[in-house]
Structure 1
């Protein structure tokens, strides 16, 4: 399935406190906290990255998906949202697909992990909110129409200045620069002090 993805992220200090508020704001829990493992693929010369494209295999609980993302043909230069054209489908065997990618010259270049909790909005059917707990901190992603994103940020009392369009790869590189960490991947095994909220 192909769709336009419009989203913003913001950092989150207390996932439990936010989730306690969400039902009052019209959100419904879709997927409880679930472990997610992602692998990005590219050529040895990073051709996809140079074209602002992404090729990913994701294992999310029992569900495996393959995703391709690219920039839209036209995007307003002043937009403050992350906008991508996303094509995604489920796959039966992620390991077999990984082998196919590698035979075609697309090798694993970056791995990142998180625990994700998914919420949907009861009145805005195309909108959803996810809480991601990563080894370098917690983030919320809002995906939906721009006016819904803006309204939800206001309802949650989030400072728009804290909102981000960075990928987890970019957030990881920024974190590495700040901390001097030698980690090469955003995984719980590679980062010895994960920033997670106890449950």
Structure 2
């Protein structure tokens, strides 16, 4: 089995329109239209995955589900971690299967995502309940070039995951949260 490493960073933006204009001005081309993604992070009751800084996620996107395992992040200025991902046709079935294996939803969150591409670099504009981010995923050189073209620097990199950012946001407001959603679904 080949180990796939994901390398990514996030950059915070004031709003989606500013982020989109910056990405297009830097030469990226639209890849997928804006849509709602609904992510559920799964773990067992004692949180063994979280304790090892790993993630098991079911993402519902355009009626399809993606099952993803992410390993612990490696140290560095960019977030680099093992990623194993497969498409699953029936979101409800994969959630039921995971429940039967002892996994429960520990955290659920939503974001609106629009995708762009420049060469091999995948760029997303993500609207979350706590702000707008541009995420760059690809090799180190492409990420650094795009960062420069966006008039940003490595000091602007956000390595935290969306769940970490969302939970921190809730904690600063004095709430313990297991979900951050745009609607009541």
What is the TM-score when the length of structure 1 is the normalising length? 0.85
Query: Structure 1, residues 74-126: CA drift from partner, whole Å, max 9, x if none?
Result: x5x4x2110111111111111111111111111111101010000011xx32x
Q: CA RMSD in A?
A: 1.8
Q: Residue 180 of structure 2 corresponds to which residue in structure 1?
A: 186
Figure out how many residues of one structure are paired with residues of the other and give that number.
183
Q: Residue 113 of structure 1 corresponds to which residue in structure 2?
A: 110
Q: Which segment is superposed worse, 14-23 or 111-120?
A: 14-23
What's the CA shift for 1:184? 2.8
Instruction: Give ranges in structure 2 of 5+ residues lacking alignment.
Output: none
Give the conservation status (yes or no) of the 8 Å contact 2:7–2:79.
yes
Give the conservation status (yes or no) of the 8 Å contact 1:41–1:107.
yes
Give the conservation status (yes or no) of the 8 Å contact 2:98–2:104.
yes
Q: Residue 195 of structure 1 corresponds to which residue in structure 2?
A: none
What's the CA shift for 1:25? 2.4
Q: Residues of 2 paired with 1:51 and 1:31: CA distance?
A: 33
What's the CA shift for 1:2? 5.6
Structure 1 ranges of 4+ moved more than 4 A: none
Q: Residue 196 of structure 1 corresponds to which residue in structure 2?
A: none
Instruction: Give ranges in structure 1 of 5+ residues lacking alignment.
Output: 191-199
Q: Residue 102 of structure 1 corresponds to which residue in structure 2?
A: 99
What's the CA shift for 1:176? 1.6
Give the conservation status (yes or no) of the 8 Å contact 2:19–2:125.
no
Residue correspondence of structure 1 range 70-109 to structure 2 within 5 A: 70-71=71-72, 75=74, 77=75, 79-109=76-106
Q: Residues of 2 paired with 1:185 and 1:22: CA distance?
A: 29
